[in-house]
Amino acid sequence: MPDDPLLLVPLVAWLASGLAAVALTPRHGAARALCVAGVLIFAAWVLEAAAMEAVESGSGSAVLNAVADGVFVAKTPAVIALLVLMPTGRFTRPWHRWLVAAAAALGVVATVLRLVGSSHIDVANEPSLAVPNPHATAAMSQAGALGEVLVDAEPLLFLVGVAVLVHRWWREREHRPVLGRMLLGLGALAVLLVLVVLGESTSLPHLVPQPLFLLALAAFPVLLLVDLSSQARGLQRELSESRVRIVTAEDQARRSLERDLHDGVQQQLVGILTLTELAARQSRRDPHAGSATLDEVRAEVQSTITGLRELVSGIRPPALADGGLPAALSDRFARLPDAVTIDLSATAHDRWPPQVEAALYFVACEAVTNALKHAPTSSVRVTLTTTDRGPQLRVADTGPGFTTRPSGAGLRGMQDRIESLGGRFELATAPGGTVLTALIPAEPV
């Protein structure tokens, strides 16, 4: 390992940026990945320096060499996780999670295979630093060779992460500015590295001195930290605006309820009271007229009960309280056209906290209504599943989609309902249709 003290600049930059990111947004997935990457990069440098010093002093250890290389390889899955988690902190595709897990497993497998099968283990890909491995067995020599190949293939893993980043930049238009800056940063680092290597390994002039590359390498995590800081401020601003909208919506709903009760149920009750007094007077003079008035009272009472049920249904449907979310959705969508299909079989008997069920119910109703309004000729499918985090609602239609991300009070209201409970709200639209996904962390009750 070079003794250049400037090498500490990118190492400290990665470590400090990761720690600062976690301190800024401790629950953000990309911040955690940046922190893990910084720690592993710094740890790999420390372990490789210790391994080299031990070899040079004649007390080299095969285990230390293998672990040093293993930690160096392990930093690549952390960087891949960083590339797929920026800027939202969430995996946008399920296979992204499996890719990171597979890359991490390869690092562990490579270290183990080298320890059990390689007769000599070097460090930092330097054959001169190889030391005998007393833990190896001849029967596992092929496994050791495979471990060496996996360690040497570490740059290929990083290229896979870059390919995923390019794919995300192409598909995720709303995140293109951040992903584009990351691609530009990685591209600049790659060009500088090639120029540094050419200048050191050939007779070409040193177009780029190594310190410039190290400074650029140190600037990359700082760029990520700035994007994470901007993301955190944006989330805080959205949270404040969301709280204002929720309070405003609650105030409007309360006033609407007061108006409905005053103009509807209260007036009906006053009318029933008047009819009751009239029936009492008539029953003393004309029993037949009193009986007719009582029949009218019964009709008014029944009408009032129906009105109250309709009013309560708008607040919280009885089927939601009695049978749960699947029963309420089945009851609600049973009266809709055949173009609306529901899949609730996986959650037929599941119950969640009342506020969770109510939020998902009203979001499902609003989403289906919007789909039928904006894409009347499409089919709509409502799916409710139970994940390891909680209930997940998915409403997909086969309409033309939107050229730009839709916005409006209805969409903001749905998003506020979900995010106010700590959930995740996503809307993906394309020419083939629109998919709304809402997940709220909750334990079954």
Q: What is the pLDDT of residues 267-321, one digit of tens each?
A: 667 677 777 777 777 777 777 777 777 777 777 777 777 666 656 555 666 777 7
Whether the per-residue pLDDT at 145 is higher than 70: the answer is: yes
Q: Where are the domains of the chain?
A: 5-241, 249-318, 320-439
Answer with the residue of higher pLDDT: 401 or 260.
401
Q: How confident is the model at residue 35 (pLDDT cuts 50, 70, 90)?
A: very high
Phi, psi of 440 (to 5 degrees): -120, 120
Q: How many CB atoms lie within 10 A of CB 364?
A: 24
Judged on CB neighbours under 10 Å (0-12, 13-18, 19+), 325 is buried
91: left (phi over 0), alpha (psi -120 to 50) or beta: beta
Radius of gyration for the chain, computed over Cα atoms and rounded to the nearest angstrom: 32
Averaged confidence pLDDT in the chain: 81
pLDDT, average across residues 211-218: 87
User: What is the rounded CA–CA span in Å between residue 173 and residue 424?
Assistant: 19
Contact 144, 159 (CB under 8 A): no
Cα–Cα dist 202/165, whole Å? 32
What residues contact 33, with CB distance under 8 A and at least 6 apart? 78, 79, 81, 82, 85
List, in sequence order, the alpha helices (H) in 334-419.
Answer: 354-374, 409-419
**At residue 39, does pLDDT exceed 50?**
yes
Cα–Cα dist 434/396, whole Å: 6
Look at residue 297 in the predicted model and tell me its pLDDT.
75
Identify the DSSP state of 347.
G
> Alpha-carbon distance 374 to 44, whole Å?
55
CA dihedral 55, 61, 67, 68 (to 10 degrees): -10
| Strand-pair category, 424-430 with 380-386 | unpaired
Kindly report the backbone phi and psi dihedral angles of residue 394, in degrees, each rounded to the nearest multiple of 5, phi listed first: -135, 120
Tokens 């040079």 appear where? 56
- Which amino acid, one-letter code, is at 31? A
Q: Which residue blocks in 118-175 are alpha helix, DSSP H? A: 141-152, 154-171
> How far is 136 from 32, CA to CA, in rounded Å?
36
Give residue 2's pLDDT band: very low, low, confident or very high (50, 70, 90): very low
Contact 108, 121 (CB under 8 A): no
Beta-carbon contacts of residue 7 (< 8 Å; ≥ 6 apart): 1, 45, 214
The stretch 219-237 carries a mean pLDDT of 83
* Residue 1 pLDDT class (50, 70, 90 cuts): very low
Q: Can you read off the two tokens belonging to residue 253?
A: 């709903």
pTM of the model: 0.63
Tell me which fold the domain 5-241 belongs to: Rhopdopsin 7-helix transmembrane proteins (1.20.1070)
Indicate the fold that domain 320-439 takes in CATH.
Answer: Heat Shock Protein 90 (3.30.565)
Q: Exposed (0-12), middle (13-18) or buried (19+): which is 379, by Cβ within 10 Å? A: middle
